[in-house]
Structure 1
Amino acid sequence: MTDYSQLIDDETWDFIRTTDAAYPPDTATLTIADQRAIYDRMCRLFFRGYPPGVTAADRMFGGVPCRIYPGDGAVVVYFHGGGFVVGGLHSHDDVCAEIRARTGHTVVAVDYRLSPEHPHPAAFDDACAATRAVADEIGGPMVLAGDSAGGNLAAAVAQAIGRNGALGIVGQVLIYPGLGGRRGEGSYVTHAHAPMLTAADIAFYAGIRHGGVAPEAPDATVSPLADTDFSGLPPTLAIAAECDPLADDAPAYAAKIVAAGGVAVAVTEPGLVHGYLRARSSVGRAARSFDRICAGIAALVKGTFPEEVPT
């Protein structure tokens, strides 16, 4: 069994304990309504407000509720995490506000439909519809970004409608994404019982996403790693947390893009756990990773990726 006492530093353990107190590890056994309420309260506990000068307004893009943080001519379309079951415009509100402040770019957070009320492909369809509408109504260079389930959606959108610079998509930033790696191998085994997210949690949320019925055949809109064509994808920064069952997905995805002739950089953040974006103001390792995320977005927009991304 992995010895997390050696991998995880004291700051991160404090973050884990604070999270567990607000969002107990057995939360997945509760009703969906209770899970959402507990998750929202936990996210609010870590809410840090907006940086000076950042504003936001709710509006529709492509028939999908979104929140826009106005900035300059470039735009970041952000898909939140939450296992396709929890989260929304409020759960990642300050994350998006800080990305806006750090990069200067407009950020659009997408409030895609959640399971089990809306099983796959509802979230994917909403992500595509919102992205198309943002490209049409705002324009300019666009970066797709997201964490966890949102990283899955960003990658799936890029593969479906963002190849070869379509819609002005100039890059994607995937933060501890779940991309459909093989669950019986690698990090899915070595980090099966990691703090913050376990292999059992991943299986639980995958079942809800599909109404308990697994896809009959590999589907890249579900598992981007299942695609057979990785050509023409936008330059990609794929970031994994070391202490996470999903840790192998980001580097595996980046490797497939590079093998297809594209540009991708994979970074595995040492000693960090799933959900560490909420620790960006309290954990040094998480703060440095958030620096990398914002630098990656800025470099993708400027066309200087990956040279201007700290590794």
Structure 2
Amino acid sequence: MTDYKTLIDAETWAFIERTNSYYPPDTIDYTITQQREIYNRMCREFFAGYPEGVAVETSSIATLTHNIPIRIYRTGPQPAAAVLYIHGGGFILGGLDSHDDVCAELCARTGYEVVSVDYRLAPEHLHPAAFDDALNAFEWAARTYGAPILLCGDSAGGNLCAAIAHATRGHPKRPVGQVLIYPGLGGDRSKGSYVTHAEAPMLTMRDLEFYKHIRTGGADRTGDPTLSPLADTDFANLPPTVLITAQCDPLSSDGEAYRDRIVAAGGHATWFEEPGLVHGYLRARHTVGRAHASFTRIVDAVAALGQGTWLW
């Protein structure tokens, strides 16, 4: 039995308790509509505002069948790089508002233009709808920006970023890097953090099973790298990758496994497991010292990859 009383410090426990007061651990037992209402309220409560100097524009990308809402954050006319940010939320929650302040801060601290993507959610839109939207957003960014493009996302968004990286290896303007924050990449659920942290605060194996089945409508998609990037058989020619996971999170081992596959294929990847942190800690970046330090690591990784620099 994992002793979270010793692994998790008082600041992080306060964040967990505050989160649970808005978003109770049994939220997955509610209807999807109720879950979204609860999640959106929680995100509003944690909203930290925009840093000074960040201009924000909400727009959309037209596809043959629908428009994909996007929000663009910029600090000047000619960014050195563009970041495609893909939000988390178990593929059923979140949107342009849920990670609004995170994107604004990422823009302010790197000087890069950040494009947040409001991909279609399950269960109304089953896999591969979210992947298709993320890929269409990348294609749009490749057409729009002369600057290098890099990928950044948390949780479900980290999954989608990795899937895009795999799908665009042969693209003439392939991503120059990816920063994946506590991503779910489809790892082996019989070992590692999936077992050690199956009952972790903020995310449990029960939650993960729920999100997996609702994303696919219960269909067996074993071996589909657009669903589970770790299911791919080829990890060569992927962009330089930084993985940042939370120690107290069943998904943490996915970061280690993904790093190992890329390195074994001759690529550049590094994995940081943040001690004592939990899934969703981006919202704690202003109140928890460990989360603040990790967000700085994320910003530094994005900044370095956008410059074509490998620091690790």
Length-normalised TM-score, structure 1? 0.96
CA–CA distance in structure 2, aligned partners of residues 27 and 139 of structure 1: 43
Paired position in structure 2 for 1:118: 125
Task: Judge conservation of contact 2:80–2:307 (CA < 8 Å) in 1.
Answer: no
Q: CA deviation at 1:96?
A: 0.2
Task: Judge conservation of contact 2:246–2:279 (CA < 8 Å) in 1.
Answer: yes
Paired position in structure 2 for 1:206: 212
Of 294, 299, 303, the match for 1:298: 303
CA–CA distance in structure 1, aligned partners of residues 61 and 243 of structure 2: 26
Letter in 2 for 1:221: T
Identify if the C-alpha distance between structure 1 residues 267 and 62 changes in structure 2 by more than 3 Å, giving closer, same or farther. Answer: farther
Letter in 1 for 2:207: D
CA–CA distance in structure 2, aligned partners of residues 166 and 142 of structure 1: 12
CA–CA distance in structure 1, aligned partners of residues 49 and 172 of structure 2: 34
CA–CA distance in structure 2, aligned partners of residues 264 and 286 of structure 1: 22
Are residues 1:48 and 2:48 paired? yes
Task: Judge conservation of contact 1:265–1:306 (CA < 8 Å) in 2.
Answer: no
| Secondary structure of residue in 2 paired with 1:101 | helix
Letter in 1 for 2:272: V
Of 246, 249, 252, the match for 2:254: 249
CA–CA distance in structure 2, aligned partners of residues 62 and 257 of structure 1: 34
CA–CA distance in structure 1, aligned partners of residues 112 and 231 of structure 2: 32
Q: How does 1:231-242 map to 2 (within 5 A)?
A: 231-242=236-247
Task: Judge conservation of contact 2:80–2:306 (CA < 8 Å) in 1.
Answer: no
Q: CA deviation at 1:166?
A: 3.9
Deviations 1:210-253 (CA, angstroms, capped at 9, x unpaired): 112222x3110010001000000000001110000001001110
Paired position in structure 2 for 1:2: 2
CA–CA distance in structure 2, aligned partners of residues 142 and 228 of structure 1: 25
CA–CA distance in structure 1, aligned partners of residues 174 and 207 of structure 2: 35
CA–CA distance in structure 1, aligned partners of residues 278 and 80 of structure 2: 34
Which stretches of structure 1, 4 residues or more, deviate above 6 A after TM superposition? Answer: none
Q: How does 1:268-279 map to 2 (within 5 A)?
A: 268-279=273-284
User: Unaligned stretches of 5+ in structure 2?
Assistant: none
Alignment: residue pair count: 305
CA–CA distance in structure 2, aligned partners of residues 99 and 249 of structure 1: 24
CA–CA distance in structure 2, aligned partners of residues 165 and 255 of structure 1: 24
Q: CA deviation at 1:169?
A: 1.3
| Secondary structure of residue in 2 paired with 1:167 | coil
